[in-house]
Amino acid sequence: MSDLAGMIVRAPDRMLVQGITGRQGSFWAERMQEYGAKVVGGVNPKRAGEEFLGVPVYESAVAAAKETEIDVAVMFIPPMAAKAAALDAIEAGVRLLVVLTEHIPTQDVMYFMAAAKDSGTRIMGPNTAGLVTPGETFVGIMPAWEEDICRPGRVGVVSRSGSLGTLACLNLVQAGLGQSTVLGLGGDPILGTTTIEALQALEQDPGTDAVVLVGEIGGTAEEDAAEFIAAMSKPVVAFIAGGASPAGRKMGHAGAIVTGDKGTYRSKRNALEKAGAAVLDMPSQLGETMHKVMASRAAAVPQSGAIEFPTDH
């Protein structure tokens, strides 16, 4: 099992961009570099040996790993080529593999998930928008540099959706709060890192005081995490998208579909509320609610070393 803390990207992380010379790969690799991410190379077998965006292009992740140390690989790779690229990164021994690709055939996903489990590689996604640790580094396709979206702070953000994760970040910054880290999990049914694992990582993270959980209809990730949320020392504020969505239709994400009585808005909301999370009706309530829960938690938690007096009742 890979280390939970490993899903949080840090300033020293050395990153490899698979598909760096493509239209999207080059655009986002450049944004990552501007932000300060340590991009140490890229992959494109047709342009191996060239230099691109000031870094070497390698034939494969395995070839790159022979030349340079890599902590994180990120895939700007089309769906039908994703399995081979993921297996390449896993074989190269990266700690963390960020799979941005959407619409990868499900059995291809299962195949590289099984390989990653054996090697202890942490996978984020597929269909994730990536990871941001404001003020340190970012990987993927999040607007980390936009000052009204990402700002250093003490709230950890977990989101299945990239666009909605971005909205949650915006709402935090509008309320004068910032993020300790932003973890994009992805919109697919089968994910390398689940909601509960992301919450476990933030519970352990000393830079995080509170958590925003942005979920959506479909699957049981939020229900599965409820028991852990109930035991967390840090407050959790949650929003579930899709309350107004019809059942039986895939709402854009392969994972966002309600069939039968599983994965409904109501079942998720009930499970989270029962676990003690503050569940929002609208994302715009995030800032105010977060201030409130952080203040009440700070008042309730005794300072370390404080003496506890027995009470009368």
Residues 33-62 contacting another protein, CB under 8 A: none
Helix axes 82-91, 106-119, angle to 10 degrees: 0
Q: Which stretch binds another protein (CB under 8 A): 33-41, 47-55, 160-168, 269-277?
A: 160-168
Tell whether residue 105 is a contact of another protein (CB under 8 A): yes
Dist CA 239 CA 160 (whole Å): 11
Dist CA 117 CA 112 (whole Å): 9
| Separation of CA 157 from chain center | 8
Of the residues 18, 159, 208, 264, which one makes contact with another protein according to CB under 8 A: 159
Tell whether residue 19 is a contact of another protein (CB under 8 A): no
Tell whether residue 165 is a contact of another protein (CB under 8 A): yes
Q: Which stretch binds another protein (CB under 8 A): 44-52, 55-63, 249-257, 270-278?
A: 249-257
Give counts: helices (H), strands (E), the chain: 9, 14
For residues 180 and 207, is the Cβ–Cβ distance under 8 A?
A: yes
Tell whether residue 241 is a contact of another protein (CB under 8 A): yes
Tell whether residue 143 is a contact of another protein (CB under 8 A): yes
How big is the chain, counted in residues?
313
For residues 214 and 186, is the Cβ–Cβ distance under 8 A?
A: no
Distances (CA, A) of 106 to 111, 133, 249, 256: 9, 29, 18, 15
Q: Which stretch binds another protein (CB under 8 A): 5-13, 32-40, 62-70, 95-103?
A: 95-103
Please list, in sequence order, all residues whose beta carbon lies within 8 angstroms of the beta carbon of residue 304, skipping any fewer than 6 positions away: none
Tell whether residue 216 is a contact of another protein (CB under 8 A): yes
Binding positions for another protein, rule: CB under 8 A:
24, 28, 79-80, 100, 102-107, 109-111, 113-115, 117, 129, 141-143, 146, 148-149, 159-167, 170, 174, 187, 189-190, 214, 216-217, 219, 239, 241-246, 249-254, 256, 281-284
Catalytic residue numbers, as ranges: 253
